[in-house]
Structure 1
Amino acid sequence: MPQASVNKLKLFSLAWPILIEQLTSGIVVMADIYFLSLLGEEAAATAGLLMPYLWIGFFVLPMLSTGGTAAASQYYGANKLDKVVPVFMTNVVLLGLAGLAFSLFTYLNFDNIALWLNFPVQMQTYAEEYLAIMAFTFGFFGLRCAYGSILAAKAMTNWNMLASLLTNVMNIFLNATFFFGWFGLEPMGLKGIALGTVLSYAFACVVVMLIVHIKAQVSFEFTWAILPRMRAVIKPLMKIAIPSAAEPANYTLQQIVVAGILASLGVLAVSSYTFVLRFLFISMAVSWSLAAAGQIIMAHHMGARKLDEVDATYNRCIKLAMLFAFANMSLFAWCYQPLISLFSDDPQVAFYAKWLLIICIVMEPFRAINIVAGMGLKAVGDGRFAATVGVAFIWGVVPIIYLCSISWQLGIIGAWACFALDEVIRGLINHWRWKTYRWHNMGIT
């Protein structure tokens, strides 16, 4: 990518396709749960309870792939184009192996995972049938993420969006085909839903590969001479990739632990918690989209050593993400009654939800800082600090959540206040780290 093209990178033109991709990313899961609900409430509940486990793959692999995006973007910015293809190829190998490893682990343990998660006996059969097929998803998904990172590094986020939309359409079509037995096929029920999801991700993988090699005209080198060049970029790539994956991996595991704590608070409290989480998705998607787009631009400018441009992009992302999060949660808190009534008519649920949303007015702007600052630090090569702070607070807050919600009997509101405090402190620490400008002497170029 010539330097002239780097200078033309625009935040909004990169961010809006990422936002659409984020907003539609949950459709595959929603479609699976819808079709499973046609089998009965137990089947749908099984898929819902499996989500924390499945998100280990669906959340961590995309974050791991951002190491390739940031590394390649820095090399583009530094005009070291000879290192770009080795980064792309190394990232494909890394993500392919990581996805394959998670697929293999899931397949070898599909009959134990439900037991580990303490599923009711009547749901374990559903879980085993679903996971035995869904296990094959992550090998394709890992490659999809690796190739998606190539398009992101080349500022072609609109093509990633297109691939995501095609995946959703294909998933719904295949689910319906296998579930109902269209085109003369035998209805496959739950197994058909899982198979449809696997094939839709395989389809997405092929589509993105074609876009990369045909539209983006990226050519891989399959000669022995490429191996030393790949070895040369492994260390700088992992310097970004490992911290990028460490925090989401620990966050996903933390959510499994926290769900077990909150389950003892009663159905109404947990229901309000679940409903409010749905309202957070929009502001989190906007913050992530701005952060991901900003990360691409910051990495390009970091490679070119345009440090003022890096800082200016960071500041713009922070302001926009915080402003949207504050306005969005203020609106939801103001209109909480009709919103919650979409899910429940219980006044106790509405009471809990109101206070959770009020806390969100403070929490979500700081979460926006956390997302942007964390990804910004990883983009400029200071990801180890953000990851260390993130992992320490992710697990450090768990005993405090238990104390507030259970021991001190503050319930779901006390637990939610702990979440808010965690986001506020982490956001301030990461923002302070950025403003020390120690990252000026970092970067992989």
Structure 2
Amino acid sequence: MKNTKKNNGAKLTLFALTWPIFIEIFLHMLMGNADTLMLSQYDDNAVASVGVSNQLINVIIVMFGFIATGTAILIAQYIGAKKEQDANKIAVVSIVGNLAFGLVLSAILVFFAPYILRAMNIPPELMDASLMYLRIVGGFAFIQALIMTIAAIIRSHGFTKDAMYVTMGMNLINVIGNYFFIFGPFGFPVLGVTGVAISTATSRTIGLIAMFILLHYRIKGSLPFTHVFKSFPKTELKKLLKIGIPSAGEHLSYNTSQIAITYFIASMGTIALTSKVYTQNIMMFILLFSIAIGQGTQILIGQYVGAEKLQAAYKRCLKSLKLAILVSTSMAIIFSFFSSSLFGIFTENPDIITLGTTLILLTIILEPGRAFNLVVINSLRAAGDVKYPVYIGILSMWGVAVTLSYVLGIVFELGLIGVWIAFIVDEWLRGLLMLRRWRSKKWQQMSFVEKDSEAS
């Protein structure tokens, strides 16, 4: 029997939405770190191979996100406006659209993986393992596209705990699979990076099955899949792309700029590349607080805007921003005290530990700036203001982050420390510009639900 709960978006609290998102993201990060930690007991080169491959896969996942992001925002606004059937039409179009898109991108990763890795200037000793991981995990990338889409639908209805439970199961399956393939108990074959890739793909496939079951039982009303096949869903697709393409553009710009920066770091040697992977794995546990607050805020603001509660939306963003800055800065300080011990979990290389400890110290300055972007950009998107973050993002990520990374890291030979300084300048510049945009209140005229009302 289907769930008949009412989705009273205005009654949802930030805490009720955020803590399951926090745990879900934590478990996603734990899954990635489980790969890194378990492989670090196997070989440091294997860690670097998976890290580089995952950076490429993350770019593809961001491209899937352009439909998932549009889905989350539109459904939240429609629920706020009490238009559940319109929300369900958007859900169907996004599922079918991302499946088709995912299959195409998965095929590209499988067939063009060698050319992509060579273009990234991967050290020869990392090539074989990176290629194997990229082909296996990348070949199943369409699974992740569907997981992201369905999770966005479920979260936007307020059922953030359900996505969390699925992630818990995926994480457990992945860790068990890693253990068998890396350490080979009971005569199990030791496959290293290949085994980790198989484990990742398997856990995601099982997670997708669970997501479809939740979708069936949790969403109010029927999902009109016949709507897509009877006639081309031009209206819904246009709305999804109008939000999703600019939103994904900002994410895509960030990830491609990170690939360009990784190219610079690769020229610094395997130690620098491995240090970056370990440091960013640790930093993600600091970052997840701001990510969770930003995503919870996006759901609330989307529903507030749909219900035309604009002043409540305005105040919610600013309150969430203060909370994110406070929490992320505090966590960065705490992590800096224990950074040597944390790096010691992954490696015994003193050069990596020393460099990584310095980078974590710089993160105390970096994280508050990143909190601005994660909270305010999500708020602007939720209100329908999706283009401004892209324009500013492209200019800052490439004009500041990439350019300064090269100048400070390569020209002035500051290495990874120079790269981290570039990250700090980029995050703070974008963050302050986003806050200025929010305070201008230009987003108050951009609700997609309001446009529907005017058109009718």
TM-score normalised by length of structure 1: 0.89
Letter in 2 for 1:134: V
Give CA-to-partner distance per residue, 1:318-339, whole Å, 9 cap, x none.
0110111221223334555555
Aligned to 1:437: 441
Letter in 1 for 2:369: F
- Which whole-Å CA distance do the structure 2 matches of 1:305 and 1:44 have between them? 49
* Structure 1: gaps spanning 5 or more residues: none
Letter in 1 for 2:133: Y
- Which whole-Å CA distance do the structure 2 matches of 1:187 and 1:350 have between them? 28
- Which whole-Å CA distance do the structure 2 matches of 1:236 and 1:70 have between them? 10
Distance 1:165 1:337, change over 3 A: closer
- Which whole-Å CA distance do the structure 2 matches of 1:209 and 1:56 have between them? 25
- Which whole-Å CA distance do the structure 2 matches of 1:93 and 1:436 have between them? 37
CA contact (8 A) 1:63 1:244 kept: yes
Q: How far off is 1:105 after superposition?
A: 0.5
Aligned to 1:112: 115
Aligned to 1:418: 422
Q: How far off is 1:353 after superposition?
A: 4.9
Decide which moves more: 345-354 or 41-50: 345-354
Q: How far off is 1:150 after superposition?
A: 1.1
Give CA-to-partner distance per residue, 1:60-92, whole Å, 9 cap, x none.
434641210110110111122231111001111
Aligned to 2:385: 382
CA contact (8 A) 1:243 1:383 kept: yes
Paired residue for 1:239, among 232, 237, 242?
Answer: 242
Q: How far off is 1:283 after superposition?
A: 2.7
Q: How far off is 1:211 after superposition?
A: 0.6
Q: How far off is 1:227 after superposition?
A: 5.1
Decide which moves more: 12-21 or 195-204: 195-204
User: Number of residues paired by the alignment?
Assistant: 445
The answer to whether 1:205 aligns with 2:208 is yes
- Which whole-Å CA distance do the structure 1 matches of 2:381 and 2:174 have between them? 33
Give CA-to-partner distance per residue, 1:129-171, whole Å, 9 cap, x none.
3333323321111111111111111110100000111111122
- Which whole-Å CA distance do the structure 1 matches of 2:26 and 2:7 have between them? 32
Letter in 2 for 1:91: S
Aligned to 2:453: none
Aligned to 1:308: 311
- Which whole-Å CA distance do the structure 2 matches of 1:268 and 1:193 have between them? 22
* Structure 2: gaps spanning 5 or more residues: 450-456
- Which whole-Å CA distance do the structure 1 matches of 2:164 and 2:36 have between them? 23
* Structure 1 residues 92-103: aligned runs within 5 Å: 92-103=95-106
Distance 1:224 1:93, change over 3 A: closer
Decide which moves more: 130-139 or 179-188: 179-188
Distance 1:334 1:236, change over 3 A: same
* Structure 1 residues 28-427: aligned runs within 5 Å: 28-33=31-36, 40-62=43-65, 64-176=67-179, 191-217=194-220, 219-223=222-226, 230-265=233-268, 273-334=276-337, 336=339, 338-339=341-342, 352-353=355-356, 355-397=358-400, 398-427=402-431
Q: How far off is 1:195 after superposition?
A: 2.8
Taking only aligned residues, the RMSD between alpha carbons, in angstroms, comes to 3.1
The answer to whether 1:19 aligns with 2:27 is no
TM-score normalised by length of structure 2: 0.87
Q: How far off is 1:125 after superposition?
A: 3.1
Q: How far off is 1:175 after superposition?
A: 4.3
Q: Secondary structure at the match of 1:110?
A: helix
- Which whole-Å CA distance do the structure 1 matches of 2:36 and 2:336 have between them? 28
Distance 1:341 1:33, change over 3 A: closer
Q: Secondary structure at the match of 1:119?
A: coil
- Which whole-Å CA distance do the structure 2 matches of 1:215 and 1:314 have between them? 28
Distance 1:282 1:72, change over 3 A: same
Q: How far off is 1:264 after superposition?
A: 4.2
Letter in 2 for 1:153: S
